[in-house]
Structure 1
Amino acid sequence: MIIQNPVSDPLSDVLALAGLRAACSVRLQAGGEWALRFRPIELKFNVVRRGECWLRIENMPARHLREGDCFVVSRTPFILASAAHIEAINASEVFAQSGASATYGSGNEVELLGGSVALVSQGAAELLDLLPPAIVIQAQAGGASSFAWLLDELDREWQSAQAGAYAMCNDLLRLIFVHALRHHISTADIADLAWLGGLREPAISAVMRAIHGAPEKPWRLAEMAEIACMSRSGFAALFKSRVGQAPVEYATRWRMRVAASRLENSADSVSTVAASLGYLSDAAFGVAFRRVHGKSPGQYRRSTEDRITPTRPDLPSNN
């Protein structure tokens, strides 16, 4: 048997450092005239399983959602309602009485399924900063059926109490998030994608894969331009326009993201981490790390030691 290492994938690399954890899974049935306000802590995934409703977010046009439509909301209060201008009450009040499955209004014409995510890595916030307040995937769009199926599986696992169910929930949420990100990368205006925009440009994507595959390498502009098969000036300009950072800056920041993950998730000394990333001295490593993260490697490690990650947060906090 020949086992080949997979080609480095920048998006997968970033997701691996993000630390997504399942927070809750909820179901809502509603009917008549109704409106509920949700306040997601980090990320909330949803699918309209039956009927139709409106998604309202401040400073954004209301979106009419139909059966099969999916949406992701990032850190932003939102309202689900039977019409665009009904006064909403807090969803936490409804779910506090009903638990993971709630009924509201008169009837059950509408059914929604949702899953919430907590983030457990300090670097995860950088990933959320790339997302718009809401991503809507219409039922007829590619990937919507997979997104809905994954949410159904998440709901079943969350309620099952079977061995390994929580690990399954975490894996399902990562898959759901990848589907949402892929949709965003393929449909958004490239100016709104930040470094994700580089994944839509073959020459830039090839360089990003190389950087992620060898974070310990002190990448130089000429080497990266050669991988892209471009002149140095043309490559530098294209990379900056697509990614929002100069090529060498991007390589350095990724190197420091990897360093932060190793400090956070291993018992290796600062010197060992520095050496593993190609630094010949702790001092040089410390200067580069502080420039990116705003604190020394030792301070960063100590700041992560005090963080406590709950296994299953209280349900109402995610509604």
Structure 2
Amino acid sequence: MDPLEDVLTLLETRSYLSVGVVAGGRWALRFDAPNVVKFNAVRRGACLLQVDGVDEPIELAEGDCYLLTRRRAFTLRSDLDAVPVDAGPVFANAEGGLARVGEGDDVFFIGGGFSFGTRAQELLLDRLPPVVHVPAATRHAETVRWALTSIDRELAHRPMASTLVAEHLAVVMLIHVLRLHLTREPHAVSGWLAGLADPVIAAALTSLHRDPAHSWTVAELANAAAVSRSTLAARFKATVGQGPLEYLTRWRIELAARQLREGRETLASIAHSVGYGSESALSVAFKRVIGMPPGDYRRHPIPDSRHN
């Protein structure tokens, strides 16, 4: 598995879809801060997105989509002068899977959200900007359009298991959006995500994720990335924010934490599976990274209250 796939799997990424929205004329919908990573996609027409804490409104054209990675209230609107109404009652009055606002149907968008398990904020969401906007005109954005068109088709025609298929397609869309964002704006992300945009660091990260239990050395990772040890160490630290072996330690602890949450394996077995020779070695590293011994964590996992 590669690092992005590993993290999304570790975080138990799930999606849900909300009703579609049809809008026309002068309109504005105000949304409370979502408890999930919110997404919307404009399938027809155009509108503006305003997010609390983001200085400028974002123009959304037909085919555009966006992710909100923070719990912030936001407004979708026809223009800056339109008076917003609360989205809650509008969605509560939806009929036939569609909510309506304003007069007419010149704008249509679909939306939903992504939920993640414990540790999502630190591992993924804090690495992204508050808003990830993918314009339809972006190079290679056809992969996102394909996913969105397929979701539309499932929701419009409702074949068997359409909701399940559409939700899985939304996760596919999320992966494509993250890929495109890394390609378009590599400097807008941080940590391991930023490393994926650097071919040298990406090679080292892929090696670490392919076999995290291996006793990696910087020399081995540098060989995998076809650079010198000093080059890899300096580039990794500057981009990811920590050295490659420190990153390996933290990733091993994340894997151990997942096994502890699942509650099936012994501590000795977990230690061996993530590259530690003894329970005590794992316990020392676990407490340093997580802040508590693994036994305490197993009984009381630390929740990520912002996105779980």
Q: Is this a same-fold pair by TM over 0.5?
A: yes
From the superposition, tell whether residues 47 and 143 of structure 1 become closer, same or farther in structure 2 (CA, over 3 Å): farther
Q: For 2:157 and 2:265, how far apart are their aligned partners in 1?
A: 38
Decide whether aligned partners of structure 1 residues 256 and 50 sit closer, same or farther in structure 2, where only a CA change above 3 A counts.
same
SS in 2 for 1:129: helix
Instruction: Map 1:296-315; keep pairs closer than 5 Å.
Output: 296-304=293-301
Instruction: Name which of 4, 8, 14 aligns with 1:21.
Output: 14
Instruction: Name the residue aligned to 2:86.
Output: 90
Q: What does 1:190-209 align with in structure 2 at a 5 Å threshold?
A: 190=187, 192-209=189-206
- Structure 1 pair 68/256, CA: closer, same or farther in 2 (3 Å)? same
Q: CA deviation at 1:286?
A: 1.0
In structure 1, the partner of 2:120 is: 124
Deviations 1:46-85 (A, max 9, x none): 2111111111113331122121122222233211000024
Whole-angstrom distance in 1 between the partners of 2:148 and 2:303? 32
1:189: how far off? 4.3
Which residue of structure 2 lines up, in the alignment, with residue 311 of structure 1?
none
**C-alpha distance in 2, partners of 1:25/1:191?**
28
SS for the counterpart of 1:84 is coil
Which position in structure 2 is the counterpart of 1:210? Answer: 207
Residues in 1 aligned to 2:119 and 2:162: alpha-carbon distance in whole angstroms: 26
Scaled by the length of structure 2, the TM-score of the pair is: 0.88
Amino acid corresponding to residue 108 of structure 2 in structure 1: E
1:232 equivalent in structure 2:
229
Segment drifting more, 247-256 vs 222-231: 222-231
Q: Report the RMSD for the aligned CA atoms in angstroms.
A: 2.4
**Does the 8 Å contact 2:186/2:197 carry over to 1?**
no
Unaligned runs of 5+ in 2: none
Structure 2 counterpart of 1:203, which letter? V
Is contact 2:17-2:167 (8 Å) kept?
no
Q: What's the TM-score once normalised by structure 1's chain length?
A: 0.85
Partner-residue secondary structure (3-state), 1:86: coil
Q: CA deviation at 1:168?
A: 2.7
3-state SS, counterpart of residue 98 of structure 1: coil
- My pick for the range that moved more, 38-47 or 158-167, is 158-167
Per-residue CA deviation, residues 136-179 of structure 1 (Å, 9 max, x unaligned), is 21122134343233234335546877665554344222211111
Q: Distance in 2 between matches of 1:245 and 1:88?
A: 44
Once residues 303 and 225 of structure 2 are traced to their aligned partners in structure 1, the CA distance between those partners, rounded to angstroms, is: 43
Q: What is the CA distance between 1:264 and its match in structure 2?
A: 2.5
Determine if the alignment matches structure 1 residue 71 to structure 2 residue 66.
Answer: yes
Percent identity between the two aligned chains? 39
Q: What per-residue deviation string (whole Å, max 9, x for no partner) do you get for residues 235-276 of structure 1?
A: 211111121211111111111111122222351122211121
1:33 aligns with 2:26: yes
In structure 1, the residue matched to 2:252 is 255
| Structure 2 CA distance for aligned equivalents of residues 249 and 178 of structure 1 | 26
Q: How many residues align?
A: 299
Give the match for residue 40 of structure 2. Answer: 46
Cα deviation for residue 279 of structure 1 reads 1.7
Provide the secondary structure at the position in 1 that maps to 2:93: helix
Are the aligned partners of 1:23 and 1:115 in contact in 2 as well (CA < 8 Å)?
Answer: yes
1:220 aligned residue: 217
1:25–1:154 contact (8 Å) kept in structure 2: no
Residue pair 1:54, 1:65 contacting (<8 A) in 2 also = yes
CA contact (8 A) 2:19 2:94 kept: no
> For structure 1, which segment, 173-182 or 265-274, has the greater mean C-alpha deviation from structure 2 after superposition?
265-274
SS at match of 2:109: strand
| 8 Å contact from structure 2 (residues 252, 275) kept in 1 | no
Query: Is structure 2 residue 163 aligned with structure 1 residue 154?
Result: no
Given the alignment of the two structures, is residue 81 of structure 1 paired with residue 77 of structure 2, yes or no? yes
Following the alignment from structure 1 to structure 2, what is the Cα–Cα distance between the partners of residues 22 and 291? 33
Does structure 1 retain, via aligned residues, the 8 Å contact 2:48–2:57? yes
SS in 2 for 1:87: coil
Residue type of the alignment partner of 2:50:
R
1:177-196 alignment, distance < 5 Å: 177-190=174-187, 192-196=189-193
Q: CA separation in 1, counterparts of 2:267 and 2:178?
A: 33
Question: What SS is found at the alignment partner of 1:264?
Answer: helix
